[in-house]
A and B are shown apart, each in its own frame.
Chain A
């Protein structure tokens, strides 16, 4: 699929998420909001970011600021009070949509240049977030988000706990792949250096 078509699909999906009927439906229950809308926004942002042709952002050459923005946005919108604000107010809901989509988009760009350690940290953070939220929501017997119900909360908690192994495997796989990509790269560097040294020696002769 061409970049243009993918970009168009992402744009249409994002606008659809902002449209009132879908928006109301997604904030109506906690599972829809936290298990469908939030991942969808991040995924759409990631795809949008990865469509960028040119290299890294000028102000973020190694993707660390993108990582910080992503981690902050995800952490902020997981706070029960923030979740309530999204469920009850249009401004907070719009802020969440824009910030999570942007966080995904920045990450999509930043991931390409992010050092391996930062990618590993991202994987650990994401898996820890899924597990911690799962643990809290499935074990806490009082309502944390005042706009929803206890059964909603329990369902979100259980689902997140079920998703934890999936997130863990995905995190390990992506981190391992990233490490593999990094290793041949350094070998290439070695070869280049060797070739460069040979050329220099030849020249000196």
Chain B
């Protein structure tokens, strides 16, 4: 009796943890938002943005090439600069090994001034094949939700948000969502493998 009760209690907690974490796969609010946005691969949600030069684009305009998208805001004091610095090294590595194959899009979702995006782009050495743009007004929330980027606006003004890097293939299919955690060298290798078709199926 008592052993059965103990097992029932264990089963209860395991079921609850399994439910909350999408089958023991998503333990943070960020990863849950990503899982809830839909399975990967899936068609990449389209969005519009204005790049550092003031040119308006849509994501679908980049069809035919590989695109790496990430979302940030320009006043972000922690996660965004860390991610952008890693991204900068990934960009360097990929430009060295397969120049022009991947278009990098870093998209500001806070409607920050475009000049600031340009400053940031210049601060990273005005890299080719890397746009730092501002998302079209009024579309940020829906775009972030569609991509599965969780955003929490803290009372102190900080915005905590998912820092995933989304790899989109030439057909406009969202192929992978990477966390920047593994570091630039690993990310560059993973992206290269995906592009060369060596990666395991997502």
Decide yes or no whether A180 CB sits under 8 A from chain B: no
Q: How far is the CB of B27 from chain A (nearest CB, A)?
A: 5
Smallest CB gap from B5: residue in A: A65
Smallest CB gap from A84: residue in B: B29
> What is the 8 Å Cβ interface bit string for chain A, positions 22-66, against chain B (1 contact, 0 not)?
000000000000000000000000000000000000011110110
B1 proximity list for chain A (CB < 8 A): 59
> A79 touching B13 by the CB < 8 A rule?
no
> A65 touching B20 by the CB < 8 A rule?
no
> A72 touching B9 by the CB < 8 A rule?
yes
Taking A80-B29, A146-B29 as contacts, is the C-beta distance between A72 and B163 under 8 angstroms?
no
Q: Which of A137-145, A168-176, A197-205 contacts B (4 or more CB under 8 A)?
A: A137-145
> B2 touching A60 by the CB < 8 A rule?
yes
A122 proximity list for chain B (CB < 8 A): none
Decide yes or no whether B6 CB sits under 8 A from chain A: yes
> A65 touching B152 by the CB < 8 A rule?
no
Instruction: Please report the total number of B residues contacting A with Cβ < 8 Å.
Output: 35
**Those of A59-110 within 8 Å (CB) of chain B:** 59-62, 64-65, 67-69, 71-73, 75-76, 79-82, 84, 88
> A81 touching B27 by the CB < 8 A rule?
yes
> A146 touching B28 by the CB < 8 A rule?
yes
> B9 touching A81 by the CB < 8 A rule?
no
Q: Footprint of A on B, CB under 8 Å? A: 1-3, 5-10, 12-14, 16-17, 20-21, 26-30, 32, 78-79, 82, 150, 152, 154, 158, 160-161, 163, 179-181
